[in-house]
């Protein structure tokens, strides 16, 4: 195929296109196919969404699953400003029936970690057309189970990215004390630091800055209801847990952490939550008060007009912080009326099945 454009100009154009269009352009010619499949191009395409907020908003999606249907759906986040939001069904044939319990563990760089009970884990890129699903190998360990009923509690997961080793990891906490970490690069599980905290639920960890974060309690002996909550992070590079300072001490109403606009959030059961403006710095916590009462809140993302997309009391809303107003979002096109599982992701070309090469630092 002849072109008057230089290869550098072609790359600059392709980097700004949606993933779906780029995948189609693989068929244009062999040169374009090699270019689009090149790890350097994949990294540059990904990095553009990190540094350019307009590109990020264009590629940002919601993935949804209803407990009453064996299907996954996605919605463009930009569509949340409309009164007519229509979901599109995704091809994910591994969900066999509505009895398969689907849980989104987390997402990073376009990859989603999905759990299909009992304990079947997958990495999934909804945006690409080839090699889009990878089954994570089962973890088998030999343990002398006591009669302690804690061993029957479901495991806790977290999914994220280790920048220092350029690797995607899944952390699994089971039997209340045993920790294993899965590496996509090696496709293996390894034993890690012992878990010495108390959990309040089985919520998945929140990825940020090379770690995953939860709300736990310190110690094992005191009554759980009276134990103050604290933020605990598992650092993938160091392979160990560390504690982060909360906005105040003796917190007993905090139920979870979240991420909004690249900042860690401390979530309670009131009409406010806290945002850590500078990661790890206690003095950077800022209180955010919203005019929507809630029992539980989960921030999803900022939209292009600086409105916030939130899950409040299991409903999806768009909140305008400048005017302190909100609107409820109704998503059409999803069969059934079951409980919705929701996760955000940014479309990318990263494949969970092509990970035998090193991603190099790209400088524009």
Percent of the chain with pLDDT over 70: 87
User: How large is the average pLDDT for residues 208-212?
Assistant: 96
- Domain housing 167: 63-141+151-346
Phi, psi of 55 (to 5 degrees): -65, -40
Task: Categorize the per-residue pLDDT at 147 as very low, low, confident or very high, splitting at 50, 70 and 90.
Answer: very low
What digits encode the pLDDT tens for the residues 217-238?
Answer: 886 665 566 677 889 999 999 9
Residue 203 has pLDDT above 80, yes or no: yes
What digits encode the pLDDT tens for the residues 277-289?
Answer: 999 999 999 998 8
User: How large is the average pLDDT for residues 205-217?
Assistant: 94
Query: Are 78 and 22 in a shared domain?
Result: no
Residues near 363 by Cβ (< 8 Å), separated by ≥ 6?
A: none
Q: Decide if 82 is inside a domain.
A: yes
Query: Are 32 and 155 in a shared domain?
Result: no
pLDDT of residue 211: 97
Query: Are 155 and 30 in a shared domain?
Result: no
Query: Are 120 and 17 in a shared domain?
Result: no
User: How large is the average pLDDT for residues 99-124?
Assistant: 89
Residue 252 has pLDDT above 50, yes or no: yes
Q: Worst-scoring range by mean pLDDT, 35-49, 79-93, 156-170?
A: 79-93
Q: Decide if 33 is inside a domain.
A: yes
- DSSP, res 200: S
Q: Decide if 357 is inside a domain.
A: no
CA 188 from centroid of its chain's CA atoms: 21
Task: Categorize the per-residue pLDDT at 192 as very low, low, confident or very high, splitting at 50, 70 and 90.
Answer: very high
Query: Are 23 and 108 in a shared domain?
Result: no
Q: Decide if 200 is inside a domain.
A: yes
Query: Are 68 and 13 in a shared domain?
Result: no
Task: State how far the Cα of 339 lies from the Cα of 12, in Å rounded to an integer.
Answer: 42
Task: State how far the Cα of 358 lies from the Cα of 364, in Å rounded to an integer.
Answer: 18
Q: What is the mean pLDDT of the chain?
A: 85
Q: Worst-scoring range by mean pLDDT, 43-57, 97-111, 210-224, 230-244?
A: 210-224
119 cis-preceded (ω within 30 degrees of 0): no
Q: Worst-scoring range by mean pLDDT, 33-37, 47-51, 142-146, 324-328?
A: 142-146
CA 112 from centroid of its chain's CA atoms: 7
User: How large is the average pLDDT for residues 32-38?
Assistant: 85
pLDDT of residue 67: 81
Query: Are 307 and 220 in a shared domain?
Result: yes
Q: Worst-scoring range by mean pLDDT, 76-90, 141-155, 268-282?
A: 141-155
pTM over 0.75: yes
User: How large is the average pLDDT for residues 250-258?
Assistant: 77
Task: Categorize the per-residue pLDDT at 149 as very low, low, confident or very high, splitting at 50, 70 and 90.
Answer: very low
Percent of the chain with pLDDT over 90: 41
The answer to whether the CB of 40 falls within 8 A of the CB of 63 is no
More confident residue, 80 or 269: 80
Query: Are 341 and 209 in a shared domain?
Result: yes
pLDDT of residue 79: 83
Residue 1 has pLDDT above 70, yes or no: no
User: How large is the average pLDDT for residues 37-55?
Assistant: 90
Task: State how far the Cα of 328 lies from the Cα of 294, in Å rounded to an integer.
Answer: 14
Query: Are 31 and 155 in a shared domain?
Result: no
Q: Say which CATH number the domain at 107 has.
A: 2.120.10.30
Query: Are 26 and 155 in a shared domain?
Result: no
More confident residue, 80 or 1: 80
Q: Decide if 54 is inside a domain.
A: no
Task: State how far the Cα of 14 lies from the Cα of 4, in Å rounded to an integer.
Answer: 15
Q: Give the alpha-carbon dihedral of 242, 152, 104, 334, to 10 degrees.
A: -150
pLDDT of residue 234: 97
Task: State how far the Cα of 60 lies from the Cα of 37, in Å rounded to an integer.
Answer: 22
The answer to whether the CB of 47 falls within 8 A of the CB of 362 is yes
Residue 358 has pLDDT above 50, yes or no: no
The answer to whether the CB of 311 falls within 8 A of the CB of 297 is yes
Query: Are 119 and 263 in a shared domain?
Result: yes
More confident residue, 337 or 291: 291
Query: Are 71 and 204 in a shared domain?
Result: yes
Residues near 333 by Cβ (< 8 Å), separated by ≥ 6?
A: 73, 86, 87, 88, 89
Q: Decide if 44 is inside a domain.
A: no
Give the total number of structural domains in the chain. 2
Q: Which single residue is written with the structure tokens 């919605």? A: 75
């Amino acid at each position: 195929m002849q072109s008057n454009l230089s290869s550098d100009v072609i790359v600059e154009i392709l980097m700004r296109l949606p993933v779906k269009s780029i995948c189609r352009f693989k068929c244009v010619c062999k040169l374009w196919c090699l270019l689009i499949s090149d790890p350097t191009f994949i990294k540059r395409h990904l990095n553009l969404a990190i540094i350019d907020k307009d590109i990020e908003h264009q590629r940002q999606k919601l993935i949804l699953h209803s407990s009453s249907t064996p299907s996954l759906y996605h919605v463009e986040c930009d569509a949340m400003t409309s009164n007519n939001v229509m979901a599109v069904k995704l091809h994910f044939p591994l969900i066999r029936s509505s009895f398969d319990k689907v849980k989104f563990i987390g997402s990073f760089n376009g990859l989603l970690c999905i759990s299909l009970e009992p304990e079947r884990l997958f990495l999934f890129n909804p945006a690409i057309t080839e090699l889009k699903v990878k089954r994570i190998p089962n973890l088998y360990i030999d343990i002398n189970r006591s009669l302690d009923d804690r061993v029957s509690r479901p495991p806790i997961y977290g999914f994220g990215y280790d920048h220092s080793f350029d690797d995607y990891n899944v952390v699994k906490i089971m039997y209340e004390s045993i920790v294993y970490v899965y590496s996509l690069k090696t496709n293996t599980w390894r034993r890690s630091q012992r878990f010495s905290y108390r959990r309040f639920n089985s919520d998945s960890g929140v990825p940020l800055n090379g770690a995953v974060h939860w709300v736990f309690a310190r110690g094992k002996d005191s009554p759980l209801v009276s134990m103050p909550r604290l933020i605990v992070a598992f650092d993938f590079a160091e392979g160990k847990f560390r504690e982060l300072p909360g906005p105040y001490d003796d917190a007993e109403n905090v139920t979870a952490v979240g991420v909004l606009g690249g900042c860690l959030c401390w979530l309670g059961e009131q009409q406010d939550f806290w945002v850590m403006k500078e990661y790890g710095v206690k003095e950077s916590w800022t209180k955010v008060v919203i005019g929507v009462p809630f029992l539980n809140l989960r921030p999803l993302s900022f939209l292009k007009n600086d409105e916030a997309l939130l899950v409040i009391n299991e409903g999806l809303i768009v909140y305008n912080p400048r005017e302190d107003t909100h609107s409820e979002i109704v998503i059409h096109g999803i069969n059934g009326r079951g409980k919705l599982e929701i996760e955000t992701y940014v479309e990318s070309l990263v494949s969970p099945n092509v990970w035998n090469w090193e991603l190099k630092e790209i400088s524009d």
